Amino acid sequence: MVSVLLPRTKVFFTGRQAIRVVAQRYKSAQAEAHLHHMHHQNGLKGDVYPAEKMGLDDLNENVLKAKYAVRGAIPMLAAELESQLQKDPNSVAFDKIVSANIGNPQQLQQKPLTFYRQVLSLLQYPDVLKHGEENLIKSKLYQRDAIARAKRLLNDIGTVGAYSSSQGVQGIRETVAKFITRRDDGEKAYADDIYLTAGASSAVSYLLSIFCKEQETGVLIPIPQYPLYTATLALNNSHALPYYLDEQSNWSTSPAEIEEVVNKALERNIKPSVLVVINPGNPTGAVLSVEAISQILSIAAKYGILVIADEVYQENVFHGAKFHSMKKVLRNLQREHPGEFDNVQLASLHSTSKGVSGECGQRGGYMEVTGLTNEVKQVITKLASISLCPVVTGQALVDLMVSPPQPGDDSYEVDQKERKTILASLAERAAKLHQTFNSLEGIECQRPEGAMYLFPKLLLPQKAIIAAEHAGMTPDAFYCKSLLEATGICTVPGAGFGQEPGTYHLRTTFLAPGTEWIQQWEAFHKSFYEKYQD
């Protein structure tokens, strides 16, 4: 039997495990061949059973490097505590988990839009239509315009149980193109430039898989950022090139900072291939001005960088802020500066998961590409085809999102009431949470303008920082864990999104209904500060 003691360790490996470990440890073909020889010399045959199970050393190291803090250690602890709560309610200090770690509106009691669900139910069970339109309307279960939309979608789709084309249903892509044209005040959009996707996340995966050439390339990402980007970059073994947002200026962008990051990457022989912009911001809640967007596009034009405009929160805008699509700003720049912006490449993303839709589990989204060559678009289509097609019910939801009931439609009044109620309650809770944070010692929070998150700065006492070190945790994770264990409120440490060195933050949604949980947080924070006050 072959046995190996690894240098500077007390770990023994035997048999085939020894062969594999030594070969991996020393990356040596000679070592592997030698150990195989010893293996056979000791009378072991090639068909020895059972073969050993694969461990972490056998896995793709890029996957192991990828991290997604939104469902990281604190949310995993929350799941354990929720299970414990169900088994023994008296064993924890709270009566429910408040999942403020993720933008999952319907999990937190946001009601689905009635029009959406009426149409979806008919798509899932078209035989209901055989009862006759007038009978369905008399039943008060369906409105006339919902029935008409379902019929039109069934005509376009056929059945939601069948694959669609990889780029998405043609009729739905045409509806998306009309929406973009309306939104951007007549700037023309085309169905051929639209890709329907399984949420915006799959669009990000497609783009980074295509435009990242491992260690040769890098992607500029805002800090703080949505962890999807760093995780996907890890999977593609490419460089993250962080550019910091200015917290004191309500998380604004700095073109000088971005250009400095580009030039430093070029000095390291790393080609910046993609620049990510999240607007409205996640986790910051900031909304970019036309001037800020124009400055970003100028850098993209100068260096030939693809811009990913992550605009999934474009409906979630309040407090007088206004969303400006990057596509519209680009078209204006192209008219105002002939030739200068003609080669800018842009991919704009939207999703049914956010906004007033909140249909996270349905996985609907789209990507519009602008300025990409036909050859590159064909590569996107090829990559999309590997997954066959996006979820067909998700595609239908995209149609409903971009073409809601209009004045005169039977569903219009109810739909408008539901939308206004959702947006008003979000704005109200955002203001309440923002006000509460800024009234507390040791928390600073910028005013949210959009999205569904706050990203407050934690000015933690030194005793709390030391206690975190003793617990083997970062200070922001220590605070989040303490908050969870005391109140059941689950948040995400700022380290998972990136933050200026030496600062501590957390991300929380303001989706949970009511204000009782905000009051509980306030009481916890005061107690935490009293406990660790210097």
The three-state DSSP-derived secondary structure of 383-444 is: HHHHCCCCCHHHHHHHHHHHCCCCCCCCCHHHHHHHHHHHHHHHHHHHHHHHHHHHHCCCEE
Q: What pLDDT was estimated at residue 39?
A: 54
Q: Are strands 492-493 and 506-509 parallel, antiparallel or unpaired?
A: antiparallel
Q: What pLDDT was estimated at residue 31?
A: 52
Give the start-to-end residue ranges of the domains of the chain. 3-59, 65-108+417-532, 114-162, 164-402
Low-confidence ranges of the chain (pLDDT < 70): 1-49, 68-71
Q: What pLDDT was estimated at residue 225?
A: 84
pTM metric for this prediction: 0.84
Is 215:241 a contact under the CB 8 Å cutoff? no
Fold of 164-402: Aspartate Aminotransferase; domain 2 (3.40.640)
Is 388:395 a contact under the CB 8 Å cutoff? no
> 114-162, which class in CATH?
mainly alpha
Q: Are strands 217-223 and 271-278 parallel, antiparallel or unpaired?
A: parallel
Which CATH number does 65-108+417-532 carry?
A: 3.90.1150.10
d(CA 439, CA 251): 20
Retrieve residue 12's tokens.
């023994």
Q: What pLDDT was estimated at residue 397?
A: 96
Q: Would you list the DSSP string of 212-262?
A: --GGGEEEEEEES--THHHHHHHHTT-EEEEEE-BGGGTSB--HHHHHHHH
Q: What pLDDT was estimated at residue 20?
A: 53
Retrieve residue 419's tokens.
């939308």
420 Cβ contact list (under 8 Å, min separation 6): none
Q: Are strands 453-454 and 489-490 parallel, antiparallel or unpaired?
A: unpaired
Is 300:243 a contact under the CB 8 Å cutoff? no
- For Cα atoms 486, 489, 490, give the angle at the middle one, nearest 5 degrees: 115
Retrieve residue 95's tokens.
């009566």
Nearest to 437 by CA among 334, 494, 518, 382: 518
